Chains A and B, each alone.
Chain A
């Protein structure tokens, strides 16, 4: 790609990417820290996550302001137009990911004094690990303008969904074994749902990156694999 004749335009586009990278890094960090707070039952760390989410929100507003100002002053065209629109969409998805991390952190506060079912926490930990790996990969795909990498992220979201479905079943079983488990299980279930949603936003970003690079939408439909809305429990 050739450079813009107008240097300051080139610099603004670069600044936009820098902000996205920074914001993405923060969302990634908060998600990891939120789970850590949940697992270690650390209310102080949970508080930190909740607080630093404000910085993520601020990034979204900054990116939005920069994009609007660039549209007004520079009237971006073609790939530049896709670039600024895509930055706006990615910022919105990252903001949601930040919120979801905050939700998980709040759950850490709520269950700080309950005992944890170790294997279930491990299951959730695997989900978080994969969600973080996906998020990192999609942010790399954006900064490298790598449509193939974005597509791989898009496809791999099915794994997060599969993990969520199996964790959902495990939690149901655990609740049925002993009603005293219901409180903690419900929190973990919502936590898992939050992570599954992080996967969905990451997938959105993957689609967005693909559009940025190729100028076309991802063609084939990814199979929908959150089946928990139709999961039935047999009482026998």
Chain B
């Protein structure tokens, strides 16, 4: 649980963070191997609290792999080996004594394809709080479910049909339900892996609006293949290429004047 000592490259990152808001997640020299394959190569990055960071890069460059390191989802892949250090609020995520279930409550995840449980809308959201024993009474659970649906911008649309199946909702609503489900356990970090890639433009705009609202309370990391989406929703952007983090910086800067030629070629749609 050593405090992370900022390296010179993160000193520039620090300059963009509001005083006192600090970094939520820090990775140092993070490597991931799938058997022989070296999928993630020495990634170091600081992710601020109460802000959105976008991960961009060509398919297979390791974005999802890195995302899964943060909530230790890679642990579930037998051939996967992770080295280096990842901390949340300075606490080592890979500490032996850390409770992984607890960690996954602190770090929520939203996937590419909306994946509501085949249960009622209410039960989808109540699921997490129930297993973690967050509510002492039915009234308290109701409260958590309502607040989470409200924060996910879904309450208005579903308040009269809470007992309907989650799978009866539209794709965009299902994704917001998944976000409500993630929020219900009061996470600190929310990981989103291409959350809009299965949605139409209107549903996408709703999710983007929601991400913008959520950022005042959470540290959000979003993987996206849409450069425009990254530019719209994030404050900082990281570009991955062939398993390395090529460049990370303020989103406005990355999309107008990136430092690295590989970043420039990728975001302008040139042959790399």
Write the residues of chain A forming the contact surface with B, with a CB cutoff of 8 angstroms.
1-6, 9, 75-82, 215-216
Measured CB to CB, the closest approach of chain B to A17, in angstroms, equals: 16
- With known contacts A215-B256, A215-B257, A78–B268 Cβ distance under 8 A: yes
What are 10 contact pairs spanning A and B, CB under 8 A? A1-B270, A5-B269, A5-B270, A5-B271, A9-B269, A78-B256, A78-B263, A79-B257, A81-B255, A215-B256
Are B270 and A81 in contact, with the CB atoms below 8 A?
no
Measured CB to CB, the closest approach of chain B to A60, in angstroms, equals: 24
Are B268 and A82 in contact, with the CB atoms below 8 A?
no
Are B267 and A4 in contact, with the CB atoms below 8 A?
no
Chain B count of residues within 8 A CB distance of the other chain: 16
Are B270 and A4 in contact, with the CB atoms below 8 A?
yes
Could you say which of B267, B271, B272 contacts A78, with CB atoms under 8 Å apart?
B267
Alpha-carbon separation in the docked complex, A130 to B232 (Å): 46
Are A75 and B270 in contact, with the CB atoms below 8 A?
no
* Chain A residue contacts of B228, Cβ below 8 A: 75
Are B271 and A2 in contact, with the CB atoms below 8 A?
yes
Could you say which of A2, A82, A215, A216 contacts B270, with CB atoms under 8 Å apart?
A2
Q: Looking at B227, B228, B269, which has the most chain A CB atoms within 10 Å of its CB?
A: B269
Are A78 and B269 in contact, with the CB atoms below 8 A?
no
Could you say which of A2, A4, A75, A82 contacts B257, with CB atoms under 8 Å apart?
A82
B264: Cβ under 8 A from any A Cβ: yes
Closest 3 CB pairs of A and B: A215-B257, A2-B270, A77-B267
Residue of B nearest to A214 (CB): B257
Q: Looking at B256, B263, B268, which has the most chain A CB atoms within 10 Å of its CB?
A: B268
Are A4 and B227 in contact, with the CB atoms below 8 A?
no
Could you say which of B258, B263, B269 contacts A4, with CB atoms under 8 Å apart?
B269
Are A80 and B268 in contact, with the CB atoms below 8 A?
yes
B75: Cβ under 8 A from any A Cβ: no
Residue of B nearest to A9 (CB): B269
Could you say which of A3, A79, A215 contacts B271, with CB atoms under 8 Å apart?
A3
Alpha-carbon separation in the docked complex, A80 to B257 (Å): 10
Residue of B nearest to A81 (CB): B256
Alpha-carbon separation in the docked complex, A3 to B263 (Å): 14
Measured CB to CB, the closest approach of chain B to A18, in angstroms, equals: 20
Alpha-carbon separation in the docked complex, A78 to B259 (Å): 10
Residue of A nearest to B264 (CB): A78
Alpha-carbon separation in the docked complex, A1 to B256 (Å): 16
Could you say which of B231, B257, B264, B270 contacts A3, with CB atoms under 8 Å apart?
B270
B29: Cβ under 8 A from any A Cβ: no
